[in-house]
Amino acid sequence: MTNRRYLVILNPIAGKGTAATRIPEIEALLTARSLEYELRVTKSVWHAAELAAGAGRGGFQVVVAAGGDGTANEVINGLMLARERGERLPAMGVFSIGRGNDFAFGADIPSNLALCVDVVAAGRERPMDVGKVTGGDYPRGRHFGNGIGVGFDTQVGLEAAKLRHVHGFMAYVIGAMKTFVIYPDAPRVRLEGDDGVIEQESHQINIMNGKRLGGTFFMAPQAVNHDGLFNLCMTERLNRREMVAVMGRYTKGTQAGHPKVKVGTSSRYAIAAPGGGLVVHADGETICVDGRSLLVECLPSRINILCDHAGTLA
């Protein structure tokens, strides 16, 4: 793969501001593998998307998201912009130097930086589905790679993001504790998928392309991001005690079979809440805080991802 050119897009504030300190390590690893690369540091929100959108025109065969889930999300959106313009699409790689790295986990990308560089250098590509959520603050849609959350987990993420000096799993623990104090009501929703309609009051809905959220919650342990389907995990109204019990199951991926949890698969989901109250994220990026309707579509094999699909790296 020595004839490939690599564009590394690094978000300096990923990993709670530690990503910038990894630049010398990244450059040393790339140089040691004799890879021809350019490393560009993002300067603002959406800059990674703009850089990724122009990577193909710039003569790059691979674009690498160096950061966390937010960086990967922007790179995916940039690649989809290029695809919509009919341009040649580079393959996507990831250097897992963010806080949660849930997208990387679901895409069979190691959490260790040196192993990430090995994966990118090896050049093994696999088609990957891309999600698109339309509604809320994005009436024309926004793409995602890992999944969306509606309700409780989005509130937890919003609270965790407010913490300046705590990150990773502990940030979500504290965010969950704060959300339990507030404990927002469960809106009445109508969810329509390939297999029918569910109407109920729901505290949490997750529509997953990947397997995990929040660094430790396995919302869809059986998910495959190249099968053309989303995996659904949807709760009914839960009291605080029930929510604690269900969250415990999420950490083990054993929520299927719980009497107040519904799971399933579908190529698309339409979500409606006539009374409002939909609080939604996609890959950790806020979609709305009081939405009424969303359309979530799985777009099969839209990009190629460089990954350890043979499962040989930890």
Residue 201 CA to residue 118 CA, distance in Å, equals: 46
Same domain, 99 and 160: no
Is residue 310 included in any domain, yes or no? no
264 in a structural domain: yes
For residue 50, which phi and psi values (nearest 5 degrees)? -65, -45
Domain boundary among 123, 153, 186: 123
Segment 190-196 mean pLDDT:
97
Mean of the pLDDT values across residues 18-44?
Answer: 97
pLDDT-above-90 percentage for the chain: 84
Among 223, 83, 33, CA closest to 146: 223
Mean pLDDT over the full length of the chain: 94
pLDDT for 2 equals 53
- Is 192 part of a structural domain of the chain? yes
- Residue 265: which of 314, 223, 302 has the closest Cα? 223
What pLDDT does residue 126 have?
97
Residue at a domain's end among 68, 101, 123: 123
Shared-domain flag, residues 117 and 149: no
Q: Are residues 72 and 146 in the same domain?
A: no
Chain segment 47-106, per-residue pLDDT in tens: 999 999 999 999 999 999 999 999 999 999 999 999 999 999 999 999 999 988 999 999
**Are residues 185 and 115 part of one domain?**
no
pTM: 0.94
Q: HSE-up of 2 (CA within 13 Å, CB side)?
A: 4
311 in a structural domain: no
* pLDDT at residue 1 tops 50: no
pLDDT in tens, 257-307: 999 999 999 999 999 999 999 999 999 999 999 999 999 999 999 999 999
Comparing 62 with 171, which gets the higher pLDDT?
Answer: 62
Q: Is residue 314 part of a domain?
A: no
What whole-number percentage of the chain has pLDDT above 70?
97
156 and 275 belong to one structural domain: yes
* One domain for residues 223 and 119: no
SS3 for the chain is CCCCEEEEEECCCHHHHCHHHHHHHHHHHHHHCCCEEEEEECCCCCHHHHHHHCCCCCCCCEEEEEECHHHHHHHHHHHHHHHHCCCCCCEEEEEECCCCCHHHHHCCCCCCHHHHHHHHHHCCEEEEEEEEEEECCEEEEEEECCEEEEEHHHHHHHHHHCCCCCCCHHHHHHHHHHHHHHCCCCCEEEEEECCEEEEEECCEEEEECCCCECCCECCCCCCCCCCCCEEEEEECCCCHHHHHHHHHHHCCCCCCCCCCEEEEEECEEEEECCCCCEEEEECCEEEEEEECEEEEEEEEEEEEEECCCCCCCC
CATH number where 187 lies: 2.60.200.40
Q: Indicate the length of the chain as a whole number.
A: 314
Residues 53 and 165 in one domain: no
Instruction: Please tell me whether residues 145 and 25 are part of one structural domain.
Output: no
Domain identity same for 234 and 101: no
The verdict on 111 and 171 lying in the same domain is no
Do residues 80 and 73 touch, judged by C-beta distance below 8 A? no
Does the pLDDT of residue 313 top 70, yes or no? no
Would residue 191 count as lying in a domain?
yes
pLDDT value of position 215: 86
306 belongs to a structural domain: no
Last residue of a domain, one of 96, 123, 150: 123
What does the pLDDT look like over 95-149, one tens digit per residue?
Answer: 999 988 999 999 999 999 999 999 999 999 999 999 999 999 999 999 999 999 9
Section 146-166 average pLDDT: 86
Boundaries of domain holding 109: 5-123
Q: Within this chain, do residues 52 and 91 fall inside the same structural domain, yes or no?
A: yes
Q: What is the tally of structural domains in the chain?
A: 2
Domain-located, residue 286: yes
**CATH code of residue 33:** 3.40.50.10330
Predicted pLDDT of residue 16: 78
My answer on whether 100 and 244 are in the same domain is no
pLDDT in tens, 221-261: 999 999 999 999 999 999 999 999 999 999 999 999 999 99
